[in-house]
Amino acid sequence: MASISFCFCPHALARPRVRNPRRASPKKQQHRPRKSNPSPQLKVPTGAKELSSIGVEATTYTRLPPKEDFSLHSFDPSSLQFSSEVKLSDSGVAMEIGNETDRLSLSDEEEEDNGVDDNLGLNYGKFEIFEGNYDSEMEDEDYDSDEDEEEVKYGKSVNNYDGEAFYEDSRRDGGESPGFKDDQEVNFSDNDGCVEGEDVKEKGVPAVMRCFDRAKIFVKAGNGGNGVVAFRREKYVPLGGPSGGDGGRGGNVYIEVDGSMNSLLPFRNRVHFRAGRGSHGQGKMQAGAKGEDVVVKVAPGTVIREAGKDEVLLELLNAGQRALLLPGGRGGRGNASFKSGTNKVPRIAENGEEGPEMWLELELKLVADVGIVGAPNAGKSTLLSVISAAQPTIANYPFTTLLPNLGLVSFDYDSAMVVADLPGLLEGAHRGFGLGHEFLRHTERCSVLVHVVDGSSSQPEFEFDAVRLELELFNPELSEKPYIVAFNKMDLPEARENWPSFKKKLQDQGIKPFCMSAVQKEGTHEVICAAYEHLQESKVANEELIDPINLNHVADMVRKQRTASINEFEIFHDSGTNTWNIVGSGLQRFVQMTNWRYVDSERRFQHVLEACGVNKSLMKLGVKEGDTVIVGEMEMVWHDSADNSGLSNAKGSADSIKWPEWK
């Protein structure tokens, strides 16, 4: 026995044991069949999913900040313009793209997956009268209408063998139509999909500021389509054999960097991203179509974590980068795939595998070469406006800039750099003064910093020291980045007066400050050329450090988890309730993919439990008559035979027990 540990848990592999809501339907009671069923009652795992959302087309656009967002601060909304150089994307953001359509055969990778079950080498029984445990209204209705029919419905591609429309049933199973897209959900929840600083909601901060560089989204890969049981039935072709096709793979979830985005604001409008489910298989060996993929578009510089965890899953920096995050669930196999030398008439098919799902926290750290930092009102935005075509709002009061502005500074055709103008920093920002450290993370990716100091302030050197200290308190690495000091407002007499002492003080510390008048565009060129030089130096230094990264490592991890052997499980015992929990992702996946409607599935399940050593381990641990055993979504009752009970069964054969008895 071995335990498995995972960095994150796609919930599909460990769903709560819930009753199928449709079971309770009175209609179903009326239609419940007809034939006596000698097999014990199944407590069937939830196969049906509620259509929780309507397929509403999401509006994905970046809008200007709503006026009310700023009312609390009585700021001028018009001041929140982005630079003209790098604009917020205004369309096509966070769209899902259906890339692939029909699929008639399993891919290599899926065939590999199939091997997990194939290798069990078990004989799933011989030919016998089929009796299914029907579970849904649809099925019952179908059954009633088709019960005594022997006709072959070619027009609908239905091949009844014993007068039962198996694959039609299973195509409807789960209540979702093939390729159903419920991923276009618009969510205007309270938090607008933004991360709310974990427990404490940031009250009073305009939503646009909270959502600018943080978002929380839900992604789910598509479930695989179900395999079906069908038999070839043609005139003059007696015993045509099994012909149930496999279900299609569920859609994948991709994350792609869209170079036209520079904020995470679009995620205010859309939080849920679900890939389409694979279509169910059909008769005549027809495999179901693949589910539609979903592509979540993010801004360059987005860091992705699983919600509530510190570990970074992905860090996407360059436009066009695409990562496969969650692979869709495998399609269930149809009965044609179960045909073997000893079982030529298999009456068994699998459910599609559930696609993994997770909540993600997105954090944007702008990708800029140079970051302009400094105290409020120092002239940072003015500097950006004169060195680039950006038009940030400039005004003579602190905190004019609430969100970072980007501008592109081009020297000639070959050389250009992206410069970010950040909101002002105050002494005590680390304690939340001013805008706090909220936007300092955007400097983490900058190679060079430009400190703008208001030369006309009463003590410019203190202002400079305070900003340096705040940088260091936020992240010591920031204070180690190469930087330039630009003493601004030299057109004012106060600044000219302060300049000699400021210069001397910095020179004593080994720093060479620049002076400039941003308004008059004097000295700005020197500042920006010096920044560019530092940038080139740091690029050369960092070139060797860049390692190629496997962007699909999350998907690889999910796939690895899927191929976990069914022999790997752990048993947990609760002596208070006499409950035994068998935990193992291989077994749980097996339970989820078992379609309990087919009697052969039950037999196969018992074989698997025996073969992988669950029975033996339970007996060793002292399972007793009447104890509850839980495997994934299944709950069973353990029964010892009269002559062989308790630990004495430890080495007993499977014949010594009659289990499971379904609750």
Residues that bind Mg ion (CB under 5 A): 381, 400-401
DSSP-assigned letter for residue 343: -
Q: Which of 429, 473, 435, 426 lies closest to 202, judged by CA?
A: 435
- What's the min distance (Å) between Cβ of 48 and Mg ion? 55
Binding mask 390-409 for ligand GTP (x = CB under 6 A): ----xxx-xxxx--------
Stretch that binds ligand GTP, among 86-94, 197-205, 266-274, 370-378 (CB under 6 A): 370-378
> Quick check: 571 binds ligand GTP (CB under 6 A)?
no
Stretch that binds ligand GTP, among 66-74, 283-291, 517-525, 552-560 (CB under 6 A): 517-525
Closer residue to ligand GTP (CB): 169 or 421: 421
- Pick 516 or 582: Cβ nearer ligand GTP: 516
| Cβ atoms of residues 659 and 618 within 8 Å | no
- Alpha-carbon distance values, 618 to 14, 309, 508, 615 (Å): 21, 35, 77, 5
**Strand, helix or coil at 612?**
coil
Q: Which is nearer to ligand GTP, 298 or 519 (CB)?
A: 519
**Of 373 and 657, which has the nearer Cβ to Mg ion?**
373
Choose from Mg ion, ligand GTP, none: what does 376 bind? Cβ within 5-8 Å by kind.
ligand GTP
Q: Which does 519 bind (CB under 5 to 8 A by kind): ligand GTP, Mg ion, none?
A: ligand GTP
CB-count exposure of residue 194 (10 Å: 0-12, 13-18, 19+): buried
Radius of gyration of the chain (CA): 32
Return the bridge partners of 324, or none. 254
**Which of 663, 590, 656 shows the shortest CA–CA distance to 623?**
656
Q: Which does 492 bind (CB under 5 to 8 A by kind): Mg ion, ligand GTP, none?
A: ligand GTP
Q: With contact defined as beta carbons under 8 Å apart, do 298 and 257 qualify? A: yes
Across the beta sheet with 370-374, what order do the strands follow? 405-410, 416-421, 370-374, 448-454, 483-488, 514-515
Sign of the Cα torsion 522, 524, 527, 529 reads: negative
- Please report, for residues 30, 393, 584, the alpha-carbon distance to residue 26 in angstroms, rounded to integers and kept in the order given: 7, 65, 36
Binder of residue 517, out of Mg ion, ligand GTP, none (CB less than 5 to 8 A by kind): ligand GTP
Q: Which does 378 bind (CB under 5 to 8 A by kind): ligand GTP, Mg ion, none?
A: ligand GTP
Question: What's the min distance (Å) between Cβ of 264 and ligand GTP?
Answer: 21
Q: Per CB under 6 A, which region of 193-201, 371-379, 439-447, 632-640 contacts ligand GTP? A: 371-379
139, 151, 233, 322, 344 from 145: Cα distances, Å: 10, 12, 19, 49, 28
| Residue placing its CB nearer to ligand GTP in the complex, 46 or 456 | 456
Closest CB to Mg ion among residues 400, 592: 400
Backbone CA torsion sign across 387, 392, 396, 401? negative
Residue with tokens 């656009």: 61
| Among 221-229, 295-303, 465-473, 515-523, the segment contacting ligand GTP (CB under 6 A) | 515-523
Among residues 83, 263, 377, 447, which is the contact residue for ligand GTP, using CB under 6 A? Answer: 377
Contacts with ligand GTP, 472-491, as mask; x by CB under 6 A:
----------------xx-x
434 interacts with, out of ligand GTP, Mg ion, none, CB within 5 to 8 A per kind: none
**Smallest gap from residue 422 Cβ to ligand GTP (A):** 8
CA–CA separation, 484 vs 479, rounded Å?
A: 12
Please tell me whether residue 381 binds ligand GTP under the rule CB under 6 A: yes
56, HSE (Cβ side, Cα atoms, 13 Å): 14
**DSSP designation for 444:** T
Give the DSSP H/E element, type plus range, for residue 629.
Answer: strand 628-631
- If the CB atoms of residues 51 and 395 are measured against ligand GTP, the closer one turns out to be 395
DSSP state of 148: T
Q: Which of 519, 528, 591, 630 binds ligand GTP (CB under 6 A)?
A: 519
Cβ proximity to ligand GTP, 15 vs 496, nearer residue:
496
Q: Pick the closer one to ligand GTP by CB: 193 or 424.
A: 424
Question: Judged by CB, which is closer to ligand GTP: 118, or 522?
Answer: 522
Q: Which of 116, 362, 378, 587 binds ligand GTP (CB under 6 A)?
A: 378
Give the residue ranges of DSSP H helices in 147-227: 166-172, 207-212
Phi-psi region of 588 (alpha: psi -120 to 50; beta: other; left: phi over 0): alpha
How many residues lie near ligand GTP (CB under 6 A)? 24
Residue 382 within binding range of ligand GTP, rule CB under 6 A: yes
d(CA 264, CA 195) in angstroms, rounded, equals 11
Query: CA of 603: how far to CAs of 346, 596, 608, in Å?
Result: 12, 10, 9
Site for ligand GTP in 149-178 (CB under 6 A): none
By CB under 6 A, the residues from 32 to 61 that bind ligand GTP are none
Q: Which is nearer to ligand GTP, 514 or 580 (CB)?
A: 514
Q: Which lies closer to Mg ion via its Cβ, residue 391 or residue 617?
A: 391
Residues 347 and 600: their CA atoms lie apart, in Å, by 6
Cα 353 from Cα 589, distance rounded (Å) = 7
Q: Which residue in the set 416, 492, 557, 571 belongs to the binding site for ligand GTP (CB under 6 A)? A: 492
3-state secondary structure (DSSP) of residue 474: helix
Give, as one character, the DSSP assignment of residue 308.
T
DSSP summary character for residue 383: H
Of 493 and 576, which CB lies nearer to ligand GTP in the complex structure?
493
By CB under 6 A, which span of 11-19, 319-327, 389-397, 640-648 interacts with ligand GTP?
Answer: 389-397
What sign has the CA pseudo-torsion 329, 139, 44, 219? positive
As a whole number of angstroms, the distance between CA 187 and CA 267 comes to 9
Which token pair is 498? 């302060």
Residues 6+ apart with CB under 8 A from 147: 34, 163, 164
**Residue 105: both structure tokens together:** 């055969």
Min dist CB 291 to Mg ion, Å, is 47
Q: Pick the piece of the chain touching ligand GTP (CB under 6 A) from 148-156, 213-221, 373-381, 632-640.
A: 373-381
Stretch that binds ligand GTP, among 181-189, 514-522, 533-541, 643-651 (CB under 6 A): 514-522
Q: Which of 376, 407, 584, 652 binds ligand GTP (CB under 6 A)?
A: 376
The verdict on 279 binding ligand GTP (CB under 6 A) reads: no
The reply to whether 518 sits near ligand GTP by the rule CB under 6 A is: yes
Which residue ranges make up the site for ligand GTP (CB under 6 A)? 374, 376-382, 394-396, 398-401, 423-424, 488-489, 491-492, 517-519
